[in-house]
Structure formats: C-alpha cells, structure tokens
Amino acid sequence: MFGPVVAAACILPDEVLEELVSCGVRDSKQLSAAARSRLAVKIRAVAVDCQIGAASVREIDRLNILQASLLAMKRAILKLNVAPDLCLVDGNQRIPNLSIDQETMIKGDSRSIQIAAASIVAKVWRDELILRMAVKYPEYDLTNNKGYGTKKHRLGLERYGVSVFHRTSFSPCQKS
C-alpha cells in the first residue's frame, strides 16, 4: 500500500549457483529479514552485475501494479553494465519493449536460483528504503509492516489519511 515497487536484475556466474543454494538462497518470502540481508551481501559480492529498478507510487497508480512491476524490472535490466543473453522473468508476463530474449517463469523465485537471488536483493533494498521513510511517517508503523496493509497501518490511514507515498489505486488508501 506504500512506497515504490522495486525489482533487481542480477547476472550470476554459473559456478556460484550451487554455492548460493548451499548458503540458503531461495524464495525471499521464506527467509527472515536477517537472512535476506546476509544473503543480499553475498549475492552482490559474487554477481557479475546487480542493479535495482523502481517504479514510483504515481506510476503504480497510473499503470497498475503489474505494469509498474514490469517497468521496474526493465529499469533494473537496462542499468546492467553487462547485457544478459537471456532475462528470466518472475511471473507469466514478458517485459514490454525489451530487446533481450526473455523466459517467463511462474513462481520463479521458488524455481530459479537467479530469480530468487534478484528477489532477495530487491526486497532488502526496498525494506531499507521503507525503514528510512518510517522516520518521517511513524504514524503508519512502517518499521514493522514495510508498507503492507497491517491493522496498525490501516489504523494510521484512518487517523492521519494518506501520505504522498501511499498507493491511492489500492482500495485501503481510497477511504482516507
């Protein structure tokens, strides 16, 4: 409900994939925040390149969350200093207007070590951003919910209304 959508693009050498699996790289939703942070450092250290892309709240509200997510992915890929031969895309939608070959993968973060690694890097980067924003917006309990629609976050919306970083296209943010 709050903040930009963030994606990462990581190019990983084949020889580090087994090591990343043995270190615990997997679907970021199955990892603790501490494990994700530790693994993000490891992933960045062994990656050929790793870049972040984001789409703003305004873009999310204008395009919809899916299209904004694809835009964030495209931005991350286009920032890479090394052009990949193939982009593995989490989900069933190809990234529009990308001249690089793509392979979509439903539940990619649980099926592909490369997608899982990118997901971890993106989640850690976004969580760190939200923690910095929580200082300015303590009324939404962002430190604990990272922008998701928890009870305390919804209570903050009821009491204080939406901030400029709330996604007004999301129904809980329309009531305020």
Query: Per-residue pLDDT tens for 153-168?
Result: 999 999 999 999 999 9
Q: How many CA atoms lie within 13 A of 63 on its CB side?
A: 17
The pLDDT of residue 176 is 44
Nearest Cα to 125, choosing from 31, 19, 25, 33? 33
Decide: 24 and 31 in contact? Cβ < 8 Å: yes
Burial, 36: exposed, middle or buried (Cβ in 10 Å; 0-12, 13-18, 19+)? buried
Query: How far is it, in rounded angstroms, from Cα 102 to Cα 93?
Result: 10
The pLDDT of residue 79 is 98
Q: Mind listing the pLDDT tens digit for each residue in 118-157?
A: 999 999 999 999 999 999 999 999 999 999 999 999 999 9
Joined together, the tokens standing for residue 167 give: 């996604």
How many residues in total does the chain contain?
A: 176
